[in-house]
Structure 1
Amino acid sequence: MSGKPSFSVLGPLKVTRGGRPVRVGPPRLRTLLASLLLRANHPVPTSELVERLWNERPPSQPRDAVQLYVVRLRQALGDPRLIRTTPGGYQLELDPTQLDLLRFDQLLRQSAKASETGRRVELLTEALRLWRGPICVDLDSDVLHALDATPVNERRLEAEEQLIDDELSLGHHASQLPRLRRLLAEHPLRERFCGQLMLALYRSGRQAEAVQAYTATADVLTHELGVSPGRELRDLHRAILAADPRLLAADTPAVTIAEPVRPAQLPADTPAFTGRVREVEELLHLAGQPATTVLASRIDGMAGVGKTALAVHVAHRLAPEFPDGQLFVDLYGYTEGRSPLAPGVVLARLLRALGVQDESIPVELDERAALYRSTLAGRRMIVVLDNAHDESQVRPLLPGSPGCLLLITSRRRLRTIDADHQLTLDVLPKADAIAMFTRSHGRERDDSRQAVDELVELCGRLPLALRHAAELFRSRPFWSASQLTERLREGISEVDAAFALSSRDLTRDQERALRLFGKHTCGELTPQSTAILLHSTVAESRRLLEELADAQLVKEHAPDRYRLHVLARATSLKQMSADGAAA
């Protein structure tokens, strides 16, 4: 068979070449193909492929197993160039003529730009005809369906909603009733379908049925979620009951933006927030500056150093000075089991929190960002972007006009993001570390100062480790600080996991260097000593140390002098030991 292969995921997985079916192989190989297709033209990390192939029961050597499956898949597809190896994963490269999902998204983008309603109806109709059933309905992968299929299904439903809005605006009320009844039966909690059905029924002269549709949906929401219908649906219900003449106009615009809301999304402040007096004062001073631009602070630091706790604490203290509310979003830049959130997804969440209705949220990223900046204009708000992965994730989320205080936390130094203030958090001073541990465990014990000193140093004076130790101490009322210290020498799993996540984006050379640093007996690293250790040049070693410092995995305490945090060293040694055992 010749020609390019074609793929379909909008229904059962299907592969053809030259019009003839291509047999991919066993279920797990088909799941691998679907995982790459659902994110075609984007790299998929090997760790995420492992989740989709084996759910929660991976083999002992998962990366080797994935590599073997990729080799077999390349052979099955007959073109090894289709699947490209990327740093840490794989990428399937296709164009919209080869994959129905890419063509679907292309048509959605074209429809969003169409100025004429009739043309938009044509494009959306063509896009929805590509669907042959639920996404990859023949594959058994809970993770794939939950994480990969869900956002695509959401785009399908949004396309259905937009198409029906356009059809209703053209006066096609009765013809949309069968479609709306089917969609509402399949998605009984989706209020927009209910509103569209009510409007179509009312415009078809069936007022009583329109009221019945509202009552049925209200009952479902009450019994299944314990909530009442949203304001827009309630307003439509009242208008139908009052026979509001404006409802009969086919071109009556729907309400797209609710009245200004005051979001209050900050997590709870840390009850026993301790230390950071200088850092808190710096941020409070920043917020008091003249609001001629967006007031912004970048807060970075190593894993577990307390970046989020500081940002949330300061935001709570400043909340009264920003009366229009607070936005908070965890970007999942370094969160175990989660991929960093795409900027478009974050913008949709922020716009909803600001009162923008779903139907008014654009498809394109730049249009969403523009609407976000417009919605924030003239409002005094605190925006906390927590746990950022890199600059490309953050840049579309920046407010554009004065009045907002922006706090960004990240393990990496986001050098290309402009900010009025830059703060790199270090571990706690010893006195603050002791105070934090003592306040957090909340129990009176007759522990020697020497034992507590040793314990906080074992925790590296890192807030995450200190909180873990305090929680363990609180749950063991008969332990002494010395006994706790002995137990903690076995390892602090949360800290190990945090440092491991910080290392996941490293290059091979950076990862090798970090592991060798774990064995390095000297307390200080320089470009010269690193060059000897790595058998490289001084210039190459200096650049590598600077990159690791940007990733908050080593600390530059003086010009060209670096240290590896004690817990980062311990985690590195454990990883080397684990890798050695696995080998």
Structure 2
Amino acid sequence: MLGTLVVAHRDRELVVSSAHQRCVLALLLLEADRVVSVDRLVDVLWSDDEVPKTARNVVQGCVSGLRRLLAADPGVRLAHQPPGYRLVVDPERVDLHRFRALRGQPGDGGDRAAVLRQALDLWRGEPLADVAAPGLAAVKQTLVESRLSTLEDYADLELRAGRHGGLVHELTSAAAEHPLRERLHGLLMRALHRAGRPGDALKVFQDIRVALSTELGVDPSAELRRLHGQVLRTDPELDPPTRAAVGSAAVGSVGVGSARVGAVGTGAVGVGSVGMGAVGVVPRQLPPDPAGFTGRGDELAGLTATLDARAREGKTVVISAIGGAGGIGKTWLVLHWAHRHADRFPDGQLFVDLRGFSPEGQPMTPTVATRGFLDALGVEVGRIPLDPHAQTALFRTLVADKRLLVVLDNAFDAAQVTPLLPGSGSCTVLVTSRDKLPGLIIGHGAHHVPLDVLGAAAARDLLVNRLGAARVAAEPAAVDELIALCGGFPLALSIVAGRAHTRPRFSLAAIAAELRVSGIDALDDGDPAASLPAVLSWSYRALSPEQARVLALLATAPGPHTSLPAAASLCGLPPGRTTAVLRSLERASLLTVDPAGRHRMHDLIRHYAAERAEHDVTAGDRSAALRRVVDFYLHTAHAGDRLLNPVASSVELDPAVPGCRPQPLSDDAAALDWFDTEHPCLLAAHHAAVAEGLHQVVWKLAKVLETFHRRRSRLHDSVTLWRAAHAAAGHLGDPVVRTVTHRHLGGALARTGRPADALDHLHQAAAVADRIGDAPNLAVAHLALAWALEQRGDDREALEHTAQALGLYRRLGNPVREAMALNGMGWYAARLGHYDDARGHCEAALLLNRRHRHRDGEAGTLDSLAYIDHHTGRHEASVARYREALEIFRELDDVYQIADSLDHIGLPHAALGQHDEARSAWREALRMYRAQRRDDDAERVRGRLAALDAGPEQDR
């Protein structure tokens, strides 16, 4: 079974020489036709403390090699599907999945036996024999267990049918490999007795009796002892059934387990009462159903669906791992589901708090938990073996084939849980943990159920359940604020509700104000179980010093999220090490990772971690971390700006501080995507630089964000940053910086409809540049003055400033900027009605822009030429020019200019009577103007649409 990585269950083998490739292929085969994430592949290949820096590269290399090996088979394809890979193959071609399908087929008697025989014939040696991976060790054991239980079921069916001749050899071999398996030995005894070998049957009993005594310190079960007595006295009950009896025998009526009334399992032979002092004990250990439980409909339905699906697949143990932060409601979910479905577990429910994260500090050992389970199952104290492994084996023996629910609450890690898992039978196991328990997911096929915060509706329902609908309805604004401040955290909401319930005279607004002022401290009720800071502290205490430092620094990082490259600079760690630490924090449910790889922290966790940073991280370390991450954003943004606008004047940056690793950006599309993603963090980094008095960083960040802000029409963000930059320039005493900040602040004000304020700054920029002989900045100031004067309606003076800029650029020998000024000359000439001059200037500008491959300038000039064509009656040519301009602006993803060109192209469309085209362009322009908060432009286009809609109606 996957011993040589069989891809076509009996007729085709794929032998892979690379150890890593074998491991990757094994997991992909185990999860055939399902996506396996890269993180999961890494977890399988290496333990947490051994993950190399090149782990992802190794996985990618394995995938590439496997693709080459699989290329010859058209029925198998290895596809990349974020966040990992999917082996696209018919499960019928994979021996393991064919085995499971056969194992899960319904039926009884001879037909069922024949199907199980087919399943067993798929096995050829030890499963995954040539696969050595830490994360697959438990999978191997699970596969062995599945094969053994199938063999036992098959043998039981054959014995019922009187077909014992072919069983002895196979059962003898299996019993030798598994000397403690009572059901297997009982079946072998029955087969030997019917084969006329009672002496050998008795020897089998003696062998297992000695093995159980030596290894586990227990005697054989009552059922096995009963079978031994039957062999000794040649009990006729052991004789093969008659043909009539075979046809009428009920499932479970024959075998070692025949004395167990009501046992439910895949076969009749069982050892469910071994060592029990109180036969028939049914444990009912579930704590009460949480009062006022609300929400989680999808998660509850998912748990039920998983149980149903696993039952259909014939899985023996159903494990669901419920993960999430402390206080997120994991235990509430499990208990509510368990009480709703208690009838599905007639053999009882076991529950234990493993104290993985608790005030006691030390998690419960599996041995203590197992001993509690044995007590609950009625095992006499004197019959409980001393050896922990023997106790685990006894527990698994007792629950074999029982329909039992096992709830393992508050687990620390998979190692604590694994010894408590039933080995076979029809048990269901629910595990809750702040750790994501990848070992259970990979090694035991656990179904992962991640819990997030409650939505607004569920949060409101929780408050209604605790406080009553009338009190909640009386203060809707306060309730909204409480829900927002608690961020959907169930424990936080419950604490708030409890406080309001015990203070009936307090308004909810007063409680909200307390929470608003005191933050997370307001959620500390003294009782550790009902205090969010205390609950979070248990997770924090479980972290290593390195993990705690990284969590604390992330809480102080600027912005709502942190990418891996930013986190590496923040913490001053190599990327590989940063990845390992972030993954451990994610496993601990203290961080979440979105599909784009950004790490986020719930606000309440962030507040707690930030408080820990004040105590546990020195001020010097916090300051150095902030400087590294601010430098990361500055240097990466600088590189991105150069890609977006290579012809713009650039700022000179000092080298990045030690430990800062700016993120490489491959091209302008990657740069624009990075700016879009990281913009909230860039604004936060700028704010942090202002607070820290990093004046050079303040104005330079504003400068490198300018192109992005213009393309994305983030006009008000631009004003905010340039106001701060202008204030920072006052501390630096550098006249060039003062010129730049005056000019950009003036331009930002002009674009937001404040030409008077803009002109004041722009005149100062020109004056300073003229005084210090800074010709490049003086030329740019003249162009900016022209733009602001246009907003005021003074096109003639705008033309004069543009002419001065043109002269300066020609003397400076800057052809790209010369083209910009020429286009400005043409634009203002056209607005003044001098169309021939305008066309000449613009055609010269277009030639220069195309010669120097300045796409932005080319699009702007095409827009100007289209304007000239429209106003000289060449409407078709105008539409064509506007379309060319729009194509380039869309290519550049410049939403500011796209909106303007859509506004403009509507005019020649309307002049040509193309009303549908005009309407479509103006509607899109209106939507974009509104999104960009360009209210005056939006109102103008709305008027054009109204006039257009009115005209055709009058015509009709």
Q: TM-score normalised by the shorter chain: which range applies?
A: 0.5 to 0.7
Q: Which residue of 31, 42, 46 maps to 1:50?
A: 42
| Structure 2 residue 99 is the aligned partner of structure 1 residue 107 | no
Give secondary structure in 2 for the equivalent of 1:237: helix
Shift of 1:109: 2.5
Q: Which residue of 425, 437, 440 maps to 2:491?
A: 425
Shift of 1:199: 1.5
Structure 1 contact 74–82 (Cα < 8 Å) conserved: yes
Q: Which residue of 147, 151, 160 maps to 2:142?
A: 151
Q: Quick one: distance in 2 between partners of 1:261 and 1:137?
A: 41
Q: Deviations over 1:8-32 (max 9, x none)?
A: x532235689978766452222221
Q: Quick one: distance in 1 between partners of 2:130 and 2:33?
A: 23
Q: Which has the higher helix share?
A: 2
Describe the shift of the 1:582–1:14 C-alpha distance in structure 2 as closer, same or farther (beyond 3 A).
farther
Give secondary structure in 2 for the equivalent of 1:40: coil
Q: Deviations over 1:63-89 (max 9, x none)?
A: 333223222322231179722334433
Match of 2:238 in 1: 247
Q: Quick one: distance in 2 between partners of 1:134 and 1:54?
A: 22
Match of 1:202 in 2: 193
| Structure 2 residue 62 is the aligned partner of structure 1 residue 69 | yes
Shift of 1:188: 1.0
**Structure 2, unaligned runs of 5 or more:** 247-252, 264-271, 273-278, 294-302, 304-321, 338-345, 358-391, 405-424, 441-448, 467-488, 499-520, 556-579, 614-621, 633-658, 664-956
Q: Quick one: distance in 1 between partners of 2:588 and 2:93?
A: 35
Q: Which residue of 83, 88, 98 maps to 2:78?
A: 83
Aligned residue identity for 2:83: G
Shift of 1:571: 11
| Structure 2 residue 467 is the aligned partner of structure 1 residue 466 | no
Q: Deviations over 1:247-287 (max 9, x none)?
A: 33535523361564323667xx9xxxxxxxxxx9x94699x
Q: Quick one: distance in 2 between partners of 1:328 and 1:162?
A: 30
Match of 2:595 in 1: 508
Match of 2:26 in 1: 34
Match of 1:138 in 2: 130
Aligned residue identity for 1:358: D
Structure 1 contact 188–220 (Cα < 8 Å) conserved: yes
Structure 1 contact 53–141 (Cα < 8 Å) conserved: yes
Describe the shift of the 1:426–1:104 C-alpha distance in structure 2 as closer, same or farther (beyond 3 A).
same
Q: Quick one: distance in 2 between partners of 1:324 and 1:15?
A: 40
Q: Quick one: distance in 2 between partners of 1:242 and 1:264?
A: 41
Structure 2 contact 5–13 (Cα < 8 Å) conserved: no
Q: Deviations over 1:339-362 (max 9, x none)?
A: xxxxxxxxxx9xx9997743999x
Q: Quick one: distance in 2 between partners of 1:103 and 1:70?
A: 24
Structure 1 contact 83–92 (Cα < 8 Å) conserved: yes
| Structure 2 residue 350 is the aligned partner of structure 1 residue 327 | yes
Structure 1 contact 304–498 (Cα < 8 Å) conserved: no
| Structure 2 residue 256 is the aligned partner of structure 1 residue 263 | no
Structure 1 contact 304–462 (Cα < 8 Å) conserved: no
Aligned residue identity for 2:254: P
Q: Deviations over 1:347-392 (max 9, x none)?
A: xx9xx9997743999xxxxxxxxx98xx99xxxxxx9764599xxx
Q: Quick one: distance in 1 between partners of 2:581 and 2:335?
A: 22
Structure 1 contact 304–495 (Cα < 8 Å) conserved: no
TM-score, length-scaled by structure 1: 0.54
Give secondary structure in 1 for the equivalent of 2:490: strand
Structure 1 contact 260–354 (Cα < 8 Å) conserved: no
Give secondary structure in 2 for the equivalent of 1:502: coil
| Structure 2 residue 137 is the aligned partner of structure 1 residue 177 | no
Give secondary structure in 2 for the equivalent of 1:83: strand
Percent of paired sites with the same residue? 30
Describe the shift of the 1:504–1:468 C-alpha distance in structure 2 as closer, same or farther (beyond 3 A).
closer
Describe the shift of the 1:580–1:21 C-alpha distance in structure 2 as closer, same or farther (beyond 3 A).
farther
Q: Quick one: distance in 2 between partners of 1:39 and 1:238?
A: 47
Structure 1 contact 10–130 (Cα < 8 Å) conserved: no
Q: Which residue of 2, 7, 10 maps to 2:2?
A: 10
Show the 5 A alignment for 1:311-390.
326-328=349-351, 357-358=400-401, 386-387=432-433
| Structure 2 residue 120 is the aligned partner of structure 1 residue 94 | no
Structure 1 contact 411–502 (Cα < 8 Å) conserved: no
Match of 2:364 in 1: none
Aligned residues: 409
Match of 1:540 in 2: none
Q: Quick one: distance in 1 between partners of 2:149 and 2:347?
A: 29
Give secondary structure in 2 for the equivalent of 1:358: coil
Shift of 1:565: 3.8
Q: Quick one: distance in 1 between partners of 2:88 and 2:141?
A: 22
Structure 1 contact 305–463 (Cα < 8 Å) conserved: no
Give secondary structure in 2 for the equivalent of 1:215: helix
Q: Quick one: distance in 1 between partners of 2:51 and 2:18?
A: 17
Describe the shift of the 1:582–1:30 C-alpha distance in structure 2 as closer, same or farther (beyond 3 A).
farther
Aligned residue identity for 1:104: F
Describe the shift of the 1:169–1:464 C-alpha distance in structure 2 as closer, same or farther (beyond 3 A).
same
Q: Quick one: distance in 2 between partners of 1:262 and 1:22?
A: 49
Match of 2:644 in 1: none
Structure 1 contact 35–148 (Cα < 8 Å) conserved: no
Q: Quick one: distance in 2 between partners of 1:427 and 1:326?
A: 29
Structure 2 contact 38–56 (Cα < 8 Å) conserved: yes
Q: Quick one: distance in 1 between partners of 2:15 and 2:542?
A: 54
| Structure 2 residue 607 is the aligned partner of structure 1 residue 566 | yes
Structure 1 contact 23–76 (Cα < 8 Å) conserved: no
Q: Quick one: distance in 1 between partners of 2:535 and 2:44?
A: 30
Show the 5 A alignment for 1:485-496.
none
Shift of 1:486: 11
Q: Which has the higher strand share?
A: 1
Structure 1 contact 263–354 (Cα < 8 Å) conserved: no
Structure 1 contact 283–314 (Cα < 8 Å) conserved: yes
Aligned residue identity for 2:537: L
Show the 5 A alignment for 1:201-220.
201-220=192-211
Structure 2 contact 103–150 (Cα < 8 Å) conserved: yes
Describe the shift of the 1:387–1:188 C-alpha distance in structure 2 as closer, same or farther (beyond 3 A).
same
Q: Quick one: distance in 1 between partners of 2:551 and 2:590?
A: 23
Match of 1:338 in 2: none
Describe the shift of the 1:152–1:329 C-alpha distance in structure 2 as closer, same or farther (beyond 3 A).
farther
Q: Quick one: distance in 2 between partners of 1:327 and 1:203?
A: 40
Describe the shift of the 1:121–1:428 C-alpha distance in structure 2 as closer, same or farther (beyond 3 A).
closer
Match of 1:538 in 2: none
Q: Quick one: distance in 1 between partners of 2:661 and 2:536?
A: 26
Q: Quick one: distance in 1 between partners of 2:662 and 2:348?
A: 51
Q: Quick one: distance in 1 between partners of 2:533 and 2:128?
A: 45
Q: Deviations over 1:496-535 (max 9, x none)?
A: 94555537875425x53x54xx6xxxxxxxxxxxxxxxxx
Describe the shift of the 1:205–1:384 C-alpha distance in structure 2 as closer, same or farther (beyond 3 A).
same
Shift of 1:206: 3.7
Structure 1 contact 307–409 (Cα < 8 Å) conserved: no
Aligned residue identity for 1:76: L
Q: Deviations over 1:176-216 (max 9, x none)?
A: 22221111001112111111012222333444432321221
Structure 1 contact 124–159 (Cα < 8 Å) conserved: yes
Aligned residue identity for 2:61: L
Q: Which residue of 292, 297, 304 maps to 2:326?
A: 304
Shift of 1:325: 5.8
